Amino acid sequence: MQAFADSRGLEIVRVYADEGKSGLRLDGRDSLKALLRDVESGYADFSAILVYDVSRWGRFQDPDESASYEIRCKQAGVRVLYCAEQFENDGSPVSSIIKSVKRTMAGEYSRELSVKVHAGQCRLIRNGFRQGGPAGFGLRRVLVDHTGVVKGELRRGEHKSIQTDRVILAPGPAEELTTVRGIYQKFVEEGRTESEIAASLNKSGLATDRGTRWTRGTVHQILINEKYAGHNVWNRTSFKLKQERVRNPPAAWIRRDDAFEPIVDRMMFEAAQQIILARSYRMSDAEMLDALCELLSRQGYLSGIVIDEAPCCPSSSAYTNRFGSLLRTYSLIGYSPERDYRYVEINKRLRELHPAVVADAERAMTETGARVEKEPISGLLKVNDEFRVSLALSRCRPTDAGTNRWLIRFDNALRPDITVAVRMELDARTIRDYYLLPSIDMRADLIRLGDHNDFGLEGYRYDDLSMLCRLARRIPLRGVAYE
């Protein structure tokens, strides 16, 4: 810019620079604001503004916003000259067209960069690496190199200095781990609220990881954050291109289950989520308990599934919200069950159903003339000594957004050639459909299916096992002698 000024016989009297600031919004651009203020106030002691190129006004998603700042300067009688552009900013139609194109390109550059950065962050999350933010109480950030070798613990405020290094989460000191597990135990098994737990922690003189007193919010964050169950979850909220902060539905979250060593077991964590997410206030306490007593007298036992399937009884979520937990609700009516949660029953039901589904697939392929053998150790089906098939039942997981989600995990250790993902309905009894997923096309360890998926996945979906049977069917070739 100095060379440009010398070639034009200009003297640089003042520099306005917003170094290290985002050009997506005017917010935070204090120097640009000062420039506009000086120009429009009439107190500017210069007659021209040297701008490196068109994009230096900003990479605004609305190109007219960038143009408006140049116009404001020109209206105040101050010329705008571009140092690195190959056109003269003389107000001609050609210069106007070029500036319009370059402003659009500047915004498009940010959009493309945002997509690339987001894709890279998603890949790192799926590989089990942490993407920013404090570790949280009971956890520590650990630096590893590109081969996964631990290099050391990162303290608060410290960051990685080598591009290929990555950050993971690891359990913290033993006393903090005991505190976290105690929080879950008090909340789930004792039915205590977040406020009660926070009060007891403060009474014991224990501080948070930030050295502050415990509040309902800090306890609540520990109870809802999946990192304490070992899961790496990201993209809960978005602030793309600094336009608007959006809370994403669970189906849009990027996650890697079992990425870190868990502090609390999955059963305890899922039980806490049942209590937190459930909300219902329609019936009185007495009416809800009476309905539960009637259900107990009819069924002889209670569980989350039994309660949810009873048409004349509130859901199990309503009871957990009203009385703190299902265990506390059971105690109010004098019922003492074994430790039991809804997802445990569903998984048990699916395990019981799995042999029947495998047997049905084996029988269907055999009826088409295929030779099917079940490997005794792996349980995979070897078809015609040509390919191996794994059948995986996936339970339906309702989301807060009102949609459903299915998680399909691939057993890469056994390396089946085809994984038949059997999507179950919400009742965990009825089969919704089948996905025939060849290993050659499935690169990830896990995929997530929704009610409606893109064409790349829908191409593998079938209503029944007819396509698997077609793959297994033996067709004799005419004119070929078989020995």
Let me know: does 109 contact 129? Beta carbons within 8 Å: no
Least confident of 26-40, 72-86, 343-357: 343-357
State pLDDT tens for residues 414-435.
Answer: 788 999 999 998 888 889 999 9
Higher-pLDDT residue of 390 and 118 is: 390
**282, pLDDT greater than 50:** yes
Average pLDDT over the chain, rounded to whole?
85
Give yes or no for residue 166 having a pLDDT over 50: yes
> What is residue 155's DSSP assignment?
P
Edge-to-edge strand ranges of the sheet holding 446-450: 397-398, 404-409, 446-450
Give me the pLDDT at residue 309, please.
64
- What's the confidence (pLDDT) of residue 170? 92
* Domain locations in the chain as residue ranges: 1-113, 129-277, 283-333, 342-472
DSSP-assigned beta bridge partners for residue 80: 49
Overall average pLDDT of the 26-51 stretch? 88
**pLDDT of res. 478:** 54
Q: Looking at 64-78, 127-141, 300-314, 362-376, which range is the least confident one?
A: 300-314
pLDDT digits (tens, 9 = 90+) for 454-477: 877 888 899 999 999 988 887 655
pLDDT band with cut points at 50, 70 and 90 for residue 281: very low
Rounded percentage of the chain residues whose pLDDT exceeds 90: 32
Which range, of 191-195, 265-269, 380-384, averages the lowest pLDDT? 191-195
CATH class of 342-472: alpha beta
Q: Which fold has domain 1-113?
A: Rossmann fold (3.40.50)
Percent of the chain scoring above 70 in pLDDT: 92
Model pLDDT, residue 340:
44
pLDDT at 278 over 80: no
CA distance linking residue 307 with residue 290, whole number of Å: 13
The pLDDT score that the predictor gives to residue 279 is 37
pLDDT reading at 411 higher than 90: no
Concatenated DSSP letters of 308-345: HH-TTS--HHHHHHHHSSHHHHHHHTT--PPS--HHHH
Question: Regarding the domain with residue range 129-277, which homologous superfamily does it belong to in the CATH classification?
Answer: Putative Large Serine Recombinase; Chain B, Domain 2 (3.90.1750.20)
Closest C-alpha among 382, 403, 405, 406 to residue 392: 406
pLDDT of residue 211: 86
Helix pair angle (93-126, 63-75), 10° resolution:
140
Mean pLDDT, residues 218-232: 90
pLDDT digits (tens, 9 = 90+) for 102-152: 999 988 888 888 888 888 888 988 888 988 888 899 999 999 998 889 899
The residue-averaged pLDDT of 239-248 equals 70
